[in-house]
Amino acid sequence: MSKSTSTQDYALFRRKTFGFSLGLLLTATLSVNNGNAQDQKASQALTSWRELKLTSQLSADQSVGYYAFDWKNGLKVHLCVLDLASKKYALKPTVNSPTNPTSVTATKSGALMAVNGGFFNLSNGESTSFVYVGGKQVCDPTTNKDLTNNPKLQPFLDTIFNRSELRIMQGKNNSVTLGIAAHKDLTAKETKVVHILQGGPQLLPKLTSKEEAFIRTGTDGKLVDSIGCERTAARTACGVTADNFALIVCIPGKGQDEFASGITLRDLSQLLKELGATTAINFDGGTSTTMVIADSSAAGKTKMVCGKTPETRVKSVLMIVPAK
């Protein structure tokens, strides 16, 4: 091979190599930019539940919608939204005697949606949360002997009995509003409390795990986190928006194995804030966490969208039912 031929071949090789390298560089740059754009999009916080794509419309008047979506790190979220201005559907708690699966209670009540409610003793099915239905007290934790006779809990009973509760209230012109307050807090005179479902802790505007003795220092001096507030677990919660929508949320755990996966209460608070809630409350979680919705393929039936199999029996249930 002559020197001139070698020079020409080398020049051709340089041009091809440069072109190939430039192509790789452009491809890599575009991939990085696209990846960054996707990561940025994935990391952008929600500002309202209205940004979500509707999964299922549960009511003919479009006042009840179900949304299933992924949040941070692929966390599965099940959300049911109720327009509290609806004249056809209402939010209402109910109590089982002694316990029942959420789906059974929902089907009997003709509910469009139902989730598990307040805390209770697994030992005897007795509620450790106050529940009022139609203005009448149906669960009183102060009469729960397993609770009141527990020496480890006795120093905290006043705080436990005063934990946060969801209040479903009737105002002027039969308008419906939701409030979240400590049990002993007074209600405005112009409103009538119709239903109460106690849970806790409050999630918004401030997380009150310590104030409500979910996180406490026991009589032995050891720190107690009674519901795994700072660990991940399956959760059930309810938030209220400034424009009067109820946001009912369930976060599943892996196989609904308590503390195996799910969400911390701090992150749950952040999620509800991003969905647009200004106030919010936590309910019983872990293996109890269940959400069922009306099954559009079978009239009068429900289907479980979040929960454990076999389904956990619970004491109280929060439902969306036809208004009376």
Cα separation, 117 vs 102, in Å, equals 9
Structural domain of residue 265, as residue ranges? Answer: 50-322
Residue 128 and residue 65 share a domain? yes
Q: In the predicted model, is pLDDT for residue 43 greater than 50?
A: no
Residue 59 and residue 38 share a domain? no
Cis peptide before 322 (omega within 30 of 0): no
Q: Give per-residue burial for 145-163: e unless 16+ CB within 10 Å, then b.
A: eebeeeeebeebeebbbbb
Residue 170 and residue 253 share a domain? yes
Residue 116 and residue 4 share a domain? no
Residue 164 and residue 139 share a domain? yes
Number of structural domains, the chain?
2
Q: Are 293 and 306 in contact (CB under 8 A)?
A: no
Q: What is the mean pLDDT of residues 97-106?
A: 97
More confident residue, 72 or 188: 72
Residue 152 and residue 4 share a domain? no
Least confident range of 6-20, 83-97, 269-283: 6-20
Torsion of CA 206, 308, 316, 151, to 10 degrees: -70
pLDDT given for residue 255 in this prediction: 66
Residue 214 and residue 183 share a domain? yes
Q: What is the mean pLDDT of residues 68-84?
A: 94
Cα separation, 111 vs 293, in Å, equals 8
Query: Binning pLDDT at 50, 70 and 90, where does residue 228 land?
Result: very high
Nearest to 291 by CA among 277, 267, 312: 312
Angular region, 103: left φ>0, alpha ψ -120 to 50, beta rest: alpha
Nearest to 170 by CA among 64, 63, 84, 240: 84
Length of the chain equals 324
Nearest to 206 by CA among 259, 178, 164: 164
pLDDT digit string (tens) for 115-168? 999 999 988 899 999 999 999 999 999 999 999 999 999 999 999 999 999 999
pLDDT given for residue 9 in this prediction: 42
Write the single-letter amino acid at 133: V
Averaged pLDDT of the chain: 88
Q: What is the mean pLDDT of residues 110-114?
A: 98
pLDDT digit string (tens) for 171-223? 988 899 999 999 999 887 778 999 999 999 999 999 999 999 999 999 899 99
Q: Are 150 and 128 in contact (CB under 8 A)?
A: no
Q: What is the mean pLDDT of residues 54-64?
A: 97
Q: In the predicted model, is pLDDT for residue 5 greater than 50?
A: no
Q: In the predicted model, is pLDDT for residue 85 greater than 80?
A: yes
Q: What is the mean pLDDT of residues 53-78?
A: 95
Tokens 């009239």, located at residue: 299
Write the single-letter amino acid at 193: V
In sequence order, which residues have a C-beta less than 8 Å from that of residue 201 and are 6 or more positions away? 163, 164, 207, 208, 209, 211, 212, 214, 229, 265, 281, 282
Residue 72 and residue 34 share a domain? no
pLDDT digit string (tens) for 288-312? 999 999 998 888 899 999 999 999 9
Q: What is the mean pLDDT of residues 2-16?
A: 41
In sequence order, which residues have a C-beta less than 8 Å from that of residue 3 and are 6 or more positions away? none
More confident residue, 256 or 87: 87
Query: Binning pLDDT at 50, 70 and 90, where does residue 23 land?
Result: very low
Query: Binning pLDDT at 50, 70 and 90, where does residue 34 land?
Result: very low
The rounded percent of the chain whose pLDDT value lies above 90 is 76
Element (H, E) at 192: strand 192-198
Residue 144 and residue 40 share a domain? no
In sequence order, which residues have a C-beta less than 8 Å from that of residue 18 and are 6 or more positions away? none
Query: Binning pLDDT at 50, 70 and 90, where does residue 74 land?
Result: confident
Q: Give per-residue burial for 61-92: e unless 16+ CB within 10 Å, then b.
A: eebbbbbbeebeeebbbbbbbbbbebeebbbb
Residue 58 and residue 27 share a domain? no
Q: In the predicted model, is pLDDT for residue 6 greater than 90?
A: no
Write the single-letter amino acid at 155: P
Q: pTM for this one?
A: 0.85
Residue 134 and residue 56 share a domain? yes
Cα separation, 77 vs 252, in Å, equals 7
In sequence order, which residues have a C-beta less than 8 Å from that of residue 8 and are 6 or more positions away? none
Residue 73 and residue 15 share a domain? no
